[in-house]
Amino acid sequence: MIKVSHLSKEFELSKKQRKELDTTDTKAVAVSDVSFECKPGRVFSLLGPNGAGKTTTLRMLSTIFKPTTGSIEIAGIDALSNPQEARKKIGFLTGSTGLYARLTPNELIKYFADLYGVPKNVCEERKQKLYDLLDMNEFQGKRIGKLSTGMKQKVSIVRTMIHDPEVIVFDEPTSGLDVITAENIIQLIRDCRTQGKTVIFSSHIMSEVDLLCDDIAIIHKGGLLFNGTMDTFRSGMQAKNLTAEFIRIVNQSKTTQT
């Protein structure tokens, strides 16, 4: 379970940034008063155009960024007062996640298992299960730098799942990946839902959202424009399809703001 309440994030602007943005403001608001809930066994999608605040929100959930105001609860743990405990419950995967090219998948998985405090025998058991599932046994001892993008993504999946997290955060997990590699991620998200895990993922690929989502939130310029179930979203649609409805909602917010 993820509970986000009145979450805001402001970044201080450097002189250089102020000049670039042609503003006199000393702060930029990335996320403003965002509240939502992600339930176990359901997939929550955070949808928004580039620069809407999706990544900042997910970084706050995964405790990389500290919110300016608001609260975050991860699997019953207050992520602000106890970030280390909250992190134990989270698995974090992005499409652009880099891996240590000079390590082998085995070494990398062991490293992360150690960081999460996973006992050796449990780690071995989980690793083997995931290797079999993702057909990774052949390249487990090769240096990651020599693996293909698809193989690397499989390593990232094992790395995300090795501590069996209750909550999984996917930040544009399929961006830049080919269809076959992206399918691995889609399958992983489905499996997580089946296993009763809480899944939140950000995307701007409507077909993925359509395929996977149970709940949806649309974020634009740091604020939520919609927050509800996918069924509610579909039933209230004024445009022909999801993409058109998404564009309509975003454009409508621009008109309202002006």
Partner 1 sequence: MIFTIFKKELKDTLRDRRTLIMMLVIPLLLFPIILNVFVAISSSFQEEAATKTVKIGLVGPNDNYVKEQLENLPESLGKKEIIMYKDTTAMKEDLKKDTLQFALFIPNDFKKFKDELKPAPVTVYYNATDMGMQERAESYLETIEDIAQQERYLDLDLKEEELKPLNVEYSNVASTKEMIGKLAGGILPYIFIAFGFIGCMYPAIDLFTGEKERGTIETLLTTPVARWQILFGKMGVVVLSGLLAASCALLGLFLSIEVFKIVDDPKLLEVIHEILSFKFIILLYALLFPLTVFFAGLMIPIAVYAKSFKEAQSIITPLNILVVMPAMVGFFPGIELNAITASIPVVNVVLATKELIAGTLDYGLLALSFSVMLLLAIIAVIVSFKRFDKETNVVIS
Q: Which residues bind partner 1 (CB under 8 A)?
A: 11, 55, 59, 62-66, 84-85, 87-88, 90, 92, 94, 96-103, 107, 111-112, 114-117, 159
Question: What is the closest distance, in whole angstroms, from the C-beta atom of residue 24 to partner 1 in the complex?
Answer: 20
Structure tokens that stand for 183 in this block: 């399918």
Q: Which is nearer to partner 1, 84 or 256 (CB)?
A: 84
Rounded to whole angstroms, the Cα distance separating 114 from 120 reads: 8
Q: In angstroms, what is the minimal distance from the CB of 200 to partner 1?
A: 13
- How many CB atoms lie under 10 A from the CB of residue 17? 14
Question: From residue 244, how far is each of 218, 234, 252 by CA, in Å?
Answer: 13, 12, 12
Query: With respect to partner 1, which residue has the nearer C-beta, 176 or 236?
Result: 176
Q: What number of residues does the chain have?
A: 258
CB of 115 to partner 1, least distance (A): 4
Least gap, CB of 240 to partner 1 (angstroms):
35
143: DSSP letter: -
Least distance between partner 1 and beta carbon 86 (Å): 8
Contact by Cβ (8 Å): 68, 11: no
> In the bound complex, what is the minimum distance in angstroms from residue 96's beta carbon to partner 1?
5
Based on CB atoms, which residue is closest to partner 1, 88 or 190?
A: 88
Nearer to partner 1, 112 or 226 (CB): 112
CA distances in angstroms from 172 to 18, 126, 159, listed in the order given: 28, 25, 17
Q: How far is it between the farthest Cα atoms of the chain?
A: 59
Closer to partner 1 at the Cβ: 74 or 218?
74
β pairing state of 77-78 and 69-74: antiparallel
Q: Give the strand pairing for 223-229 and 90-94.
A: unpaired
Tokens of 89: 């419950």
Our CB check for partner 1 shows the closer of 116 and 226 to be: 116
